[in-house]
């Protein structure tokens, strides 16, 4: 996967690109799906179109929009009634979505990862809200395969973890990562601790991170460093991984910084997603440019050269609103924070949830 043809000048945003890639988004690594992406740009910028709400009662579209057999799918987390938890939806057109059924019957508020593996669509259930995952009466996350219509086949429980954040298809096998029960499995102390939040395949290895990043060759995990300073308040978290211009890139909290991997244990920061951004949950390449989505204003920005990220849209930004600082914001302010959970490319357009 990757670029096939790149006759594109990123500064004036003019030229054409041709690439093959997976449609996985948000926290997810690449699946086994392959899509041909042809992009042509002449510094054109269009308005964002509202594509509707998959569930009328869910406040959260999960970190995992994906394209499967020519259709766009999205999962939700939480809803007003428990019977409406944990559903997957298929996009039809305009603002219409079709309910593809509840995934499993366990006490799990949502579906987190969606991934294509060996030609099938898989969904992974989770409890995402960190304020209640440890105290609530919730089940461990499970993996399911889509059988069409509203049917999902149970593929088992990977671990006792309730928060299964990420999935990837790597060397013919399906991998799922999460926590918090196994927090510290990689290293119990210091900067090498890991609670997998994001995954990405890069140069033949599988990478995962939060806060430290590790790479896997199918046999052993190797420490790959920190994509930002650990001595921040709050401390560093790694929430997104993607590949851009031949480099692995990571989006982080608490400053919404993006860093590129230089090899070994070395990383280099190259800007911030949003003027007051805090966390980068989504990174995607579209028409030859890198895009990021951040908290607290659900802001989408385009990378236009170090250190400039151009703001394209704030989906939540009331006039005069001040979101507060990470680690210092009051509960009311935090409850207003809004995020871009995932971004993917579908039918030549960039979609954001």
| Residues 345/23, Cβ–Cβ less than 8 Å | yes
**CA nearest to 303, candidates 259, 262, 353, 351:** 259
Cis peptide before 325 (omega within 30 of 0): no
What class is the 49-182 domain?
mainly beta
Please state, in angstroms and rounded to a whole number, the distance separating the CA atoms of residues 269 and 278.
15
C-alpha distances (whole Å) from 238 to each of 13, 50, 95, 210, 252 are 29, 29, 32, 4, 4
Structure-token pair, residue 299: 């802001």
Structure-token pair, residue 20: 């093959």
| Residues 158/19, Cβ–Cβ less than 8 Å | no
User: Given this model, what pLDDT does residue 135 score?
Assistant: 85
Strand, coil or helix: what is 192? helix
Give residue for tokens 């609530």.
136
Structure-token pair, residue 286: 């579209």
User: Given this model, what pLDDT does residue 190 score?
Assistant: 73
User: Given this model, what pLDDT does residue 226 score?
Assistant: 96
Please state, in angstroms and rounded to a whole number, the distance separating the CA atoms of residues 350 and 12.
19
Please state, in angstroms and rounded to a whole number, the distance separating the CA atoms of residues 48 and 50.
7
Structure-token pair, residue 189: 């102390």
**CA nearest to 285, candidates 339, 313, 244, 256:** 244
Cis peptide before 254 (omega within 30 of 0): yes
| Residues 191/158, Cβ–Cβ less than 8 Å | no
pLDDT by residue for the chain (353 residues), tens only, comes to 889 999 999 999 999 999 999 999 999 999 999 999 999 999 999 999 999 999 999 999 999 999 999 999 999 999 999 999 999 999 999 999 999 999 999 999 999 999 999 999 999 999 998 888 888 899 999 999 999 999 999 999 999 999 999 999 999 999 999 998 887 777 777 778 889 999 999 999 999 999 999 999 999 999 999 999 988 889 999 999 999 999 999 999 999 999 999 999 999 999 999 999 999 999 999 999 999 999 999 999 999 999 999 999 999 999 999 999 999 999 999 999 999 999 999 999 999 99
C-alpha distances (whole Å) from 54 to each of 87, 95, 135, 306 are 9, 8, 28, 36
Question: Is the pTM for the entire model greater than 0.85?
Answer: yes
Which residue pairs from 318-325 have beta carbons closer than 8 angstroms and sit at least 24 positions apart in sequence? Answer: 323/276, 323/278, 323/296, 323/297, 324/296
Bridge partners (DSSP) listed for residue 97: 91
| Residues 282/268, Cβ–Cβ less than 8 Å | no
**Per-domain residue ranges for the chain?**
49-182
C-alpha distances (whole Å) from 214 to each of 51, 188, 302, 305 are 36, 14, 27, 27
Which alpha helices (H) appear in the chain, and where do they start and end?
Answer: 331-336
Structure-token pair, residue 133: 């995952």
Strand, coil or helix: what is 121? strand
User: Given this model, what pLDDT does residue 187 score?
Assistant: 75
């Amino acid at each position: 996967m990757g670029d096939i043809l790149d006759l594109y000048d990123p500064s004036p945003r003019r030229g054409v690109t041709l690439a093959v890639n997976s449609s996985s988004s948000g926290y997810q690594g690449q699946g086994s799906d392959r899509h041909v992406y042809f992009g042509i740009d002449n510094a054109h910028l269009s308005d964002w179109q509202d594509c509707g709400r998959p569930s009328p009662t869910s406040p959260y579209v999960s970190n995992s929009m994906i394209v499967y057999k020519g259709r766009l799918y999205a999962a939700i987390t939480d809803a007003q009634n428990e019977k409406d938890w944990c559903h997957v939806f298929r996009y039809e057109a305009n603002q219409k979505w079709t309910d593809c059924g509840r995934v499993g019957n366990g006490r799990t508020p949502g579906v987190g990862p969606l991934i294509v593996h060996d030609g099938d669509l898989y969904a992974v259930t989770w409890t995402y809200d960190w304020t209640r995952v440890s105290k609530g009466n919730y089940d461990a996350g499970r993996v399911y395969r889509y059988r069409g219509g509203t049917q999902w086949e149970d593929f088992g429980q990977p671990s006792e973890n309730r928060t299964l954040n990420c999935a990837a298809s790597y060397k013919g096998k399906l991998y799922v990562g999460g926590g918090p029960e196994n927090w510290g499995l990689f290293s119990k102390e210091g900067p090498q601790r890991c609670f997998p939040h994001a995954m990405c395949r890069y140069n033949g290895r599988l990478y995962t991170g939060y806060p430290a990043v590790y790479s896997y060759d199918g046999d052993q995990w190797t420490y790959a460093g920190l994509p930002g300073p650990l001595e921040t308040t709050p401390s560093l978290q790694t929430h997104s991984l993607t590949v851009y211009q031949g480099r692995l890139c990571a989006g982080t909290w608490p400053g919404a910084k993006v860093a590129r991997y230089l090899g070994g244990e070395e990383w280099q920061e190259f800007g911030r997603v949003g003027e007051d951004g805090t966390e980068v949950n989504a990174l995607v390449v579209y028409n030859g440019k890198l895009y990021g989505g951040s908290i607290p204003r659900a802001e989408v920005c385009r990378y236009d050269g170090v250190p400039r990220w151009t703001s394209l849209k704030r989906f939540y930004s009331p006039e005069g609103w001040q979101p507060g600082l990470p680690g210092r914001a009051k509960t009311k302010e935090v409850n207003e924070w809004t995020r871009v959970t995932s971004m993917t490319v579908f039918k030549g357009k960039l979609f954001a949830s």
